[in-house]
Structure 1
Amino acid sequence: MSFTVLSLGGPVAPEGEDVLRAAGIVLLSTGPYPGKAELLALLAEIQPDALVVRLVERVDAEVLMASPALKVVAKHGSGVNDIDVAAAAALGIPVLASVGANAHSVAEHALTLMLALAKDLKSQDDFMRRGGWGRKAYRGYELRARTLGIVGFGAIGSAFAGLVVPLGVKTIAYDPYVPDAVFGVQAERVPDLDTLLSRADVVSLHCPLTEETRGMIGARALTLMKRDAVLINTARGEIVDERALVKALNGGDIGAAGLDVFASEPPAKANPIWKCPNVIVSPHVGGATEEAWREISLMTCRNLMAFLEGRRIDARFFARPDRFPGEQ
Structure 2
Amino acid sequence: MEKTVVILGGELAAEGRAILEEAGVGVVSTPPYIDRQAVIEAMNRHKPDAVIVRLLADILGRKEMEAGGRLRHIAKHGVGTNDIDIESAARLGIPVSVTTGSNGHSVAEHALGLMMALVKDFSRQDTLIRDGVWDKNQYQGRELRGQHLGLVGFGFIGQTLGTMALALGMRVSAFDPHTPDSAFRDGIRRESDLDRLLSQADIVSLHCPLTPDTRNLIDARRIALMKPGAFLVNTARGVVVDEAALVEALKSGHLAGAGLDSFALEPPDRDNPLFKLTNTIVTPHVAGVTIDAKRAMAVMAAQNVLTTLRGQQLAERFLAR
TM-score range, shorter chain: over 0.9
Which amino acid is the alignment partner of residue 258 of structure 1?
A: G
Partner of 2:56: 56
1:1-328 aligned at under 5 Å gives the runs 1-57=1-57, 58-185=59-186, 187-320=188-321
Deviation of residue 124 (structure 1)? 0.9
Cα separation, 1, equivalents of 2:15 and 2:180: 34
Which amino acid is the alignment partner of residue 6 of structure 1?
A: V
- Provide the aligned C-alpha RMSD in A: 1.4
Quick one: structure 1 residues 246 and 115, their matched pair in 2 at CA, closer, same or farther if it must change by over 3 Å? Answer: same
Query: Which ranges in structure 1 are unaligned for 5 or more consecutive residues?
Result: 321-328
Deviation of residue 288 (structure 1)? 1.8
Which amino acid is the alignment partner of residue 217 of structure 1?
A: I
Tell me the SS of whatever aligns to 1:172: strand
Cα separation, 2, equivalents of 1:90 and 1:116: 45
Asked whether the equivalents of residues 161 and 187 of structure 1 are also in contact (C-alpha less than 8 Å), the reply is yes
Asked whether the equivalents of residues 4 and 50 of structure 1 are also in contact (C-alpha less than 8 Å), the reply is yes
Q: 1:225-270, CA deviations, whole angstroms, 9 ceiling, x for partnerless residues?
A: 1001100001111111000001111122222111111111232232
Structure 1 range deviating more: 274-283 or 104-113: 274-283
Which amino acid is the alignment partner of residue 117 of structure 1?
A: L
Asked whether the equivalents of residues 162 and 186 of structure 1 are also in contact (C-alpha less than 8 Å), the reply is no
Deviation of residue 43 (structure 1)? 1.3
Tell me the SS of whatever aligns to 2:136: coil
- Over the matched positions of the two proteins, sequence identity in percent amounts to 48
Q: 1:156-191, CA deviations, whole angstroms, 9 ceiling, x for partnerless residues?
A: 111111222221011111111111112222521110
Cα separation, 2, equivalents of 1:109 and 1:318: 25
Tell me the SS of whatever aligns to 1:203: strand
Quick one: structure 1 residues 135 and 38, their matched pair in 2 at CA, closer, same or farther if it must change by over 3 Å? Answer: closer
Quick one: structure 1 residues 131 and 34, their matched pair in 2 at CA, closer, same or farther if it must change by over 3 Å? Answer: closer
Q: TM-score, normalized by length of structure 2?
A: 0.96
Deviation of residue 204 (structure 1)? 0.3
Tell me the SS of whatever aligns to 1:70: coil
Which amino acid is the alignment partner of residue 23 of structure 1?
A: A
Q: 1:291-321, CA deviations, whole angstroms, 9 ceiling, x for partnerless residues?
A: 010000011111111121122322111111x
Cα separation, 2, equivalents of 1:112 and 1:251: 25
Structure 1 range deviating more: 199-208 or 3-12: 3-12
Cα separation, 2, equivalents of 1:306 and 1:101: 17
Which amino acid is the alignment partner of residue 123 of structure 1?
A: R
Cα separation, 2, equivalents of 1:141 and 1:14: 42
Structure 1 range deviating more: 156-165 or 106-115: 156-165
Q: TM-score, normalized by length of structure 1?
A: 0.94
Q: 1:71-130, CA deviations, whole angstroms, 9 ceiling, x for partnerless residues?
A: 110111111111111111111111111111111111111001100111111111111122
Structure 1 range deviating more: 31-40 or 232-241: 31-40
Cα separation, 2, equivalents of 1:34 and 1:260: 21
Asked whether the equivalents of residues 250 and 256 of structure 2 are also in contact (C-alpha less than 8 Å), the reply is yes
Tell me the SS of whatever aligns to 1:136: helix
Which amino acid is the alignment partner of residue 153 of structure 2?
A: G
Tell me the SS of whatever aligns to 2:287: coil
Which amino acid is the alignment partner of residue 99 of structure 2?
A: S
Asked whether the equivalents of residues 161 and 186 of structure 1 are also in contact (C-alpha less than 8 Å), the reply is no
Cα separation, 2, equivalents of 1:236 and 1:59: 17
Cα separation, 2, equivalents of 1:67 and 1:119: 52
Q: Which runs of 4+ in 1 moved over 6 A?
A: none
* Number of matched pairs: 320
Deviation of residue 23 (structure 1)? 1.9
Query: Which ranges in structure 2 are unaligned for 5 or more consecutive residues?
Result: none
Partner of 1:324: none
Asked whether the equivalents of residues 275 and 282 of structure 2 are also in contact (C-alpha less than 8 Å), the reply is no
Which amino acid is the alignment partner of residue 18 of structure 2?
A: D
